[in-house]
Structure 1
Amino acid sequence: MHTFLRFIFLFVVTTTFAQTELSFCNKSSLILDMLEKNHYKPKTIDDEFSKYVFTKLLERLDDRRLLYSQENIEELASLKDKLDDYLQNGECDFINEVTVFYEKHLKQAIQTIEKFEKMKLDFSGKDTVTYGSFKEKALFSKTPKTLEKRWSKKIRVDIIRDYLSLTDPSNFPKIKAQLKQKVIAENKCFIVDKLQVVNGLQSYVETTFLDVVCSYFDPHSSFFDPTDNATFMNSIGTENNSIGVWFSKNSDGKIVVSGLQTGSTAWKEKEINTGDLVLSLESNDTKVSTTCLSLESLYDFINDENNKTITFNVLDDKNINKTIVLRKENLKIEGNAVNSFILKGEQNVGYISLPSFYTNLDYGFGSANDIAKELFKLNAVDIDGLILDLRGNGGGSMKQAIDLAGMFIDKGPLGIYRDQQDNKTIVKDFNRGTLFTKPLIILINSESASASEFIAAALRDHNRALIVGSKTYGKGTIQQILPLQQEEGFVRITIEKMYGFKGNSHQAIGIQPDIEFPNLLSGIEDGESANANVIVSDTIQKDVYFEIPEAANYENLRAKSLARIEKNKASMTIKNINTNLRDYLDNERKLPLSITGLQQDRDRFNAIFEKSDDIEMTHDTFEVVNLADYKEILAYNKNKAKENSYAIKSIQTDHEIEETYHILADYIKQLAH
């Protein structure tokens, strides 16, 4: 059963007859039972569990540490080591106590914010604001009084940052009142959003609690209610007439881009990106500010059939204001979300980028099928080798990854899955033959995870691919989605752990490339290992005996690459940015709470990226060329022509692709001798 469920998403048809709703206690009991029976490494429900859930729940409900103080939390102290007992005894009234506490402090927060409406705020710099190391855990204020001071500083910081983000800042004293009114309104909206959460506050607290319970077992086990499940299903499927962008609210209650749909124009052009702050949107002469705008209202505006083209004003992660125009398109019948190119130079090299292992839920095809089509076309033009770019690929369908891996090997094992009972399932490529036999390089980075890591590890274990780039994220576990009774929620449970067929695991350690490139976020992002309750890495006694080709010697390739990287301007820029960024983030910053104080800090941060344009460098190492059949499509499709032009420019100026090309060219020559 597990083997089958690993390869598909679990969809359950909702029954239409009347049913009695499960109580919170029943849900808790069912979830704990499901975790105990199915989780890869179940844990004991004891006082340690209780302390974790108590602490994490209050942190999750107040992730900005703006609603209650440590002194306030003591009001609930009696629950800290009793939650395990309550759940096991079916006594669940404690959740009402938590909800009352949460609602009380949300309303108090609104009262605190309103105090500042008529209060004169000090921007002289006499007050200071302190930012600790980025890896330090945020603490609650000690008392209600110090919490009010935190609010005072937050509001003033928000006002200054809004002022500094203006395209053409006016005299601050003249617009201070206007900015203050806007910031006060935004902060009140932030609280009101929480009070008016979909399905009610009680349901929200219960859902958060149940999700925290799941997270005690590992970072990827979670609970979501039917509303969240509908959102999840939409995110992995396709939809008609869409702009291909999803939105959410960040911890400040502001609307941000949360994802891009595979195959959409937004996904291909990458002008709008995950994390961008949405300031406003406009269509048909109607402009909507996102200040206090609900997600429901945002989607109502986007989904209005009259709004076929929508203009977004966003602020990106470098505080740059951008205007982006997105046109709705029919994404449901997108035939192929990947495209291949030829890099023409000393060697003719195929290039395919795959940002996710997607699947088409309507037709049963997906990324593997799409890449197979591209491999047939690339084989027809007799390329010398292939670059498969999995940077930023966070995973997706494991079946798609397994099918794709099988295209590059004749037959044999790809990996091992191990479950709670130590049962080992060997994952094999059952299809004889290969679609591509020439030299292959897989390009990875710190955002390559899960299915991406699986395929990189499998093909390296077969000595079929050379892995280059930077260390991967380190997610080597497999999840299964199970419904509660009556579909009153869904539990995602980590059921198995991945291993290479040699018995090694990349879980929590990532995959180290054969040839490593400088990484902008080295020492800043720790990947899977930084998560609480992470499942540790280990090895198993392999039960697989399979004769594989002799491993190639990469020492000469590595030495040549390192010599090029040392002289490469883009690589030197990355190393310099990384050093300065780590210095900025690693140390406490105590700033005067004034325009000058925050502007100097912002200028220091911006200066770190001052030469970031040097990372994108044109070169004459190769020319990026479309395949003949795609040129015909471009001749009559202006939208695809625009996307294609952007993609070619992106590849042509990507220093990592250029260095990967050099390595592959060296590898081809090495194999020829």
Structure 2
Amino acid sequence: MLTPTPRSDPADRGRKPIAMKAKTTLLAALLLTTPLAWLAHADDAKTSQLLEVPDSGKPSLIKSVEALPRTATADQTTAAKLVYGLLSDSRYAYRPRALDDALSADIYKRYLEALDGGKQFFTAQDIARFDAYKLKLDDAIKSGELAPAYAIFATYKQRVDERVAYARGLLKQDIFRFDGGDRYEYDREDAPWAADQAALDELWKQSVRNDWLRLKLAGKKPEEIRKTLDKRYTNMGKSIAELKGEDVFQTFLNSYANSIDPHTDYFTPRTAENFNQSMSLSLEGIGAQLQKQDDVVVIREILVGGPAARDGRLKPGDRIVGVGQGESGPMEDVIGWRIDDVVAKIRGTKGTKVRLDIVPAEAGQDSEPKRIVLVRDKVRLEEQAAKSKVLTIPGRDGEPEMRIGVIELPGFYQDFEGRRRNASDYASATRDVAKLLAQLKADKVDGVVLDLRNNGGGSLSEAIELTGLFIDKGPVVQVRESGGRVSVESDTDTGIAWEGPLAVLINRGSASASEIFAGAIQDYGRGLVIGETTFGKGTVQNLVDLDRWPANEEARFGQVKLTIAQFFRVSGSSTQNKGVVPDIAFPVTVDASEYGESTYDNALPWTRISAVPHTRYGNFAPLLPKLEARHTERIAQDKEFQWWSEDVAQFREERAKKWVSLNEAERRAQREREETKRKQRQAERKALGLDLDPLAEDIDDGLAASERDVVKDAEREKLAEKRPDPLLRESAAILADAVRLLNADRQLSAQVLPTATVRGHWAD
């Protein structure tokens, strides 16, 4: 869920993750993507949880840092021209824009936001100097001569170095008394640029004091705090120092791509490979999740079924200090490398060998490493695949209990290459859900809830085919191309995999393909839609390989995720900006002004087109008042739901403040209130026979993710998945109510579900 966990600080919760808005700093992007990486798969921008600053360890251990170029390489020059050709051509882009001075100014604004969206590094004086480039970026892209972008970045890098040095210097000063009334204003997105260095100094002073206070409240001593923060700020600078020319190039071209629309993006060859692997839900490597810690890449988790798991010698906490290819390739010392560079060395073609020098978790860093040889293989990322379980929902007043099956679908994934090859085992969300439905049907569940919370979408074809599991043949979505032509995408397979009661659970993080599916289920009257209004992304993207025109044998120019069309529901309404509105609504976790399509300043507007004929299986309108009444009555007695509602209200209140107090007594009192609340809730859970919260004792330790014990932090992540989920349980209860009400009232059943066949499956 979107409510914060106790381990965080209000200032952390105020920082916006990448998925929230296009306005994201380059440093924030690093924070989201570098701490964790799959072998052959790095986290993409769908991530909705902000990770902390990655540790890189002692500066003396860095083997080398690439000197940033002053302009683009020959390949990047070509790539820039190809991207310009795509985005300005109506044959490709749904909403092309001429690359002129007006767009140049927009690109300039977005590039500054990408580098320093929090206005923590640049001063107003810097911006005044950069303004000379404001109307020249269009010419730079057309020519491929990107010196202005690199010049701005060079200043950014210098400012980061200055801020790091200043922050480290503060740690030696006597400024850490917290008995006044000052605050740390952490949300600066709408603030003016700092007038000068002195103004930035004041901002950073308050930020450092907040970091110190958090650690002090967590029980750390001054010398320990000083050491922790000195390393943290050093690593912040190193994360920028490790950037390469391709990182700067991608950031700048994305500023251009995002100026066309929020969902058009440029990928370098490496980023494109990672994106495609995330969609296919598979990789070729050793099967381990990695994390950067103290200049060394550490094993965070061993993936079930992968080569590392089968071999059995690698374990969480082990440190990778060297990598070699095949039986006899030279061993490369990878201490101090960027994590994606280490990942690139470890991953490789199925059947090939990789040699790893490992320092065991229990050994000292200077211990003699042991060598492990593994044969790479294809690994399926099961943690990101569809999963199912069964919830038992008790009845009331003599009503029978019901067993509701739940299918959690985190994304509409598909192995496009495997499908093209007609491979028998290619990854597919629809195929996986079909198998789970068959199991649930065999278990004789009374209904199914499909959980699409925080499902950011994926494959359009998967959304269509998944809808086909719940309807017979018929249209699913309308697609309007740039020229105005509208096509109808339909489910053409006869038969229904699940004919029984259905509910779809959504929230603000449900987007794109999730909205197509939920909208179709709602338009067909096939099931109840429960939760929050969705994200509101009503556009279709396609990956365009820039290497296809020169017909390169190897990837050189990257890919563009390009908006090519807008989709509409079969009812004719667009989900764009407005999203899918649920039949039964839960309290809003995050406001539409803060998260969703409506937050993008260049998003397409909402519109509608003509509806297309489609079957109407049911009309739940007559049933909704009865379901609402039961829902309201039940949650008034549901402690878990009440606690969740309280947490949401508190989260929204704190978020609206955009500041935290730097008074120790106030913060300590707040911390004690939170701890007392958690203990009281845990005691009530125990007394009421409810599931205990495995993270009830987990409080803010003031640490960044990479400063914690890797093994314990991974275990905590697993425990988080076992936390009570009152929204899911209430959704299952609402579906159970619908079945009971329709069973008890044949007249209502005939009104809600006029088709006898469907009524027979919903109400027996």
**2:36 aligned with 1:36:** no
User: Does the aligned pair in 2 maintain the 1:469–1:516 contact within 8 Å?
Assistant: yes
User: Does the aligned pair in 1 maintain the 2:82–2:546 contact within 8 Å?
Assistant: yes
User: Does the aligned pair in 2 maintain the 1:450–1:477 contact within 8 Å?
Assistant: yes
Paired residue for 1:61? 115
Q: CA deviation at 1:42?
A: 2.0
Paired residue for 2:619? 551
Paired residue for 2:583? 514
Find the aligned partners of 1:366 and 1:79 in 2 and give their Cα distance: 46
Deviation per CA, 1:299-329, whole angstroms, max 9, x where unpaired? Answer: 6999985769979xxxxxxxxxxxxxxxx99
User: Does the aligned pair in 1 maintain the 2:446–2:501 contact within 8 Å?
Assistant: yes
**2:156 aligned with 1:102:** yes
**2:79 aligned with 1:27:** yes
Deviation per CA, 1:443-490, whole angstroms, max 9, x where unpaired? Answer: 222222221221111111111111112222222222111122453222
Q: CA deviation at 1:539?
A: 0.9
**2:336 aligned with 1:295:** no
The structure 2 residue matched to 1:213, chosen from 224, 234, 256, is: 256
User: Does the aligned pair in 2 maintain the 1:235–1:261 contact within 8 Å?
Assistant: no
Name the CA shift for 1:535/1:120 in 2 (closer, same or farther; >3 Å): same
Deviation per CA, 1:525-554, whole angstroms, max 9, x where unpaired? Answer: 532222342222211123x22343342332
**2:740 aligned with 1:664:** no
1:143-542 pair list within 5 angstroms: 143-165=196-218, 169=219, 175-197=221-243, 200=244, 202-236=245-279, 237-239=281-283, 245=289, 282-283=317-318, 294-295=338-339, 332=379, 337-344=385-392, 346=400, 347-360=402-415, 362=418, 363-485=425-547, 486=552, 487-521=556-590, 525-542=594-611
User: Does the aligned pair in 2 maintain the 1:520–1:577 contact within 8 Å?
Assistant: no
Number of residue pairs matched by the alignment: 580
Name the CA shift for 1:559/1:495 in 2 (closer, same or farther; >3 Å): same
> 4+ runs of 1 displaced by more than 6 Å?
253-257, 259-265, 300-304, 306-311, 328-331, 604-612, 614-622, 646-649
Structure 2: which amino acid aligns with 1:384? D
Name the CA shift for 1:579/1:108 in 2 (closer, same or farther; >3 Å): closer
**Any idea what SS the aligned residue of 1:414 has?**
strand
Q: CA deviation at 1:45?
A: 2.9
Find the aligned partners of 2:740 and 2:188 in 1 and give their Cα distance: 45
Deviation per CA, 1:558-581, whole angstroms, max 9, x where unpaired? Answer: 322222223322232223222222
User: Does the aligned pair in 1 maintain the 2:412–2:463 contact within 8 Å?
Assistant: yes
Paired residue for 1:315? none
Q: CA deviation at 1:409?
A: 0.9
**2:194 aligned with 1:141:** yes
Find the aligned partners of 1:61 and 1:648 in 2 and give their Cα distance: 32
Name the CA shift for 1:294/1:183 in 2 (closer, same or farther; >3 Å): farther
What TM-score do you get using the length of structure 2 for normalisation? 0.66
Paired residue for 2:6? none
Q: CA deviation at 1:416?
A: 0.5
**Any idea what SS the aligned residue of 1:422 has?**
coil
User: Does the aligned pair in 2 maintain the 1:186–1:292 contact within 8 Å?
Assistant: no
User: Does the aligned pair in 2 maintain the 1:214–1:223 contact within 8 Å?
Assistant: yes
**Any idea what SS the aligned residue of 2:413 has?**
coil
**Any idea what SS the aligned residue of 2:561 has?**
strand
Find the aligned partners of 2:105 and 2:492 in 1 and give their Cα distance: 48
Find the aligned partners of 1:590 and 1:368 in 2 and give their Cα distance: 45
Find the aligned partners of 1:72 and 1:389 in 2 and give their Cα distance: 47
**Any idea what SS the aligned residue of 1:427 has?**
strand
Find the aligned partners of 2:319 and 2:288 in 1 and give their Cα distance: 20
User: Does the aligned pair in 1 maintain the 2:268–2:559 contact within 8 Å?
Assistant: yes
Which moves more between the two structures, 32-41 or 525-534?
Answer: 525-534
Q: CA deviation at 1:514?
A: 0.6
Paired residue for 2:177? 123
Structure 1: which amino acid aligns with 2:318? S
Structure 1: which amino acid aligns with 2:410? P
Deviation per CA, 1:595-632, whole angstroms, max 9, x where unpaired? Answer: 4465456557777877776998998999xxxxxxxxxx
Find the aligned partners of 2:262 and 2:381 in 1 and give their Cα distance: 33
Structure 1: which amino acid aligns with 2:249? E
RMSD value, Cα: 4.4
Name the CA shift for 1:571/1:329 in 2 (closer, same or farther; >3 Å): farther
Q: CA deviation at 1:54?
A: 1.4
Paired residue for 1:587? 657
User: Does the aligned pair in 2 maintain the 1:514–1:554 contact within 8 Å?
Assistant: no
Find the aligned partners of 1:294 and 1:616 in 2 and give their Cα distance: 45
Find the aligned partners of 2:679 and 2:591 in 1 and give their Cα distance: 19
Deviation per CA, 1:201-251, whole angstroms, max 9, x where unpaired? Answer: x443332111100011122111121222233234334236766646689xx
User: Does the aligned pair in 2 maintain the 1:584–1:605 contact within 8 Å?
Assistant: no
Which moves more between the two structures, 99-108 or 661-670?
Answer: 99-108
Find the aligned partners of 2:303 and 2:474 in 1 and give their Cα distance: 31
Gapped runs of 5+ residues in structure 2? 1-71, 307-314, 322-334, 348-353, 363-374, 395-399, 419-424, 692-714, 747-764
Find the aligned partners of 2:361 and 2:563 in 1 and give their Cα distance: 40
Q: CA deviation at 1:63?
A: 4.0
User: Does the aligned pair in 2 maintain the 1:68–1:105 contact within 8 Å?
Assistant: yes
Which moves more between the two structures, 390-399 or 600-609?
Answer: 600-609
What TM-score do you get using the length of structure 1 for normalisation? 0.74
**2:645 aligned with 1:575:** yes
User: Does the aligned pair in 2 maintain the 1:185–1:292 contact within 8 Å?
Assistant: no
**Any idea what SS the aligned residue of 2:500 has?**
coil
User: Does the aligned pair in 2 maintain the 1:36–1:43 contact within 8 Å?
Assistant: yes
Name the CA shift for 1:157/1:429 in 2 (closer, same or farther; >3 Å): same
Paired residue for 1:563? 633
**Any idea what SS the aligned residue of 1:534 has?**
coil
Deviation per CA, 1:100-144, whole angstroms, max 9, x where unpaired? Answer: 433443444455446446544453556833326x59535432112
User: Does the aligned pair in 2 maintain the 1:207–1:223 contact within 8 Å?
Assistant: yes
Q: CA deviation at 1:339?
A: 4.3
Q: CA deviation at 1:654?
A: 3.2
Which moves more between the two structures, 40-49 or 427-436?
Answer: 40-49
Name the CA shift for 1:55/1:451 in 2 (closer, same or farther; >3 Å): same
Paired residue for 1:270? none
**Any idea what SS the aligned residue of 1:216 has?**
helix
Find the aligned partners of 1:648 and 1:121 in 2 and give their Cα distance: 37
Name the CA shift for 1:585/1:596 in 2 (closer, same or farther; >3 Å): same
Name the CA shift for 1:25/1:554 in 2 (closer, same or farther; >3 Å): same
